A = this chain, B = another copy of it.
Amino acid sequence: MPLVTIKIFEGRDVEQKRGMVKDVTEAIVKTIGCPTTAVQIDIVDLNPENIAQGGQLFSDRR
């Protein structure tokens, strides 16, 4: 704890994920005052066919 889940569009490379988990962890530690090692993050890579807003798939917007 804290346990964080981040859903993003698939296609980000490991460099971006590495930076994201580092900076998100620091942001949480600084603002709520928990130990760094307590922060766990899992990332869900989503295909645009599996996300919709306003009733429309993102894969149909492109």
Contacts and interface: CB of A to CB of B under 8 A. Distances in A.
Identify the interface centre among A21, A25, A43, A46: most chain B CB within 10 Å of its CB: A21
Nearest to A35: B54
The size class of the interface chain A forms with chain B is: 35 or more
Given A1-B8, A7-B3, A51 B41 contact: yes
18 contacts: A1-B8, A2-B6, A3-B3, A4-B4, A4-B7, A14-B59, A16-B33, A17-B49, A17-B50, A19-B31, A20-B32, A22-B55, A22-B56, A25-B52, A37-B54, A38-B54, A41-B51, A41-B52
Interface of A: 1-9, 12, 14, 16-28, 30-34, 36-46, 49-60
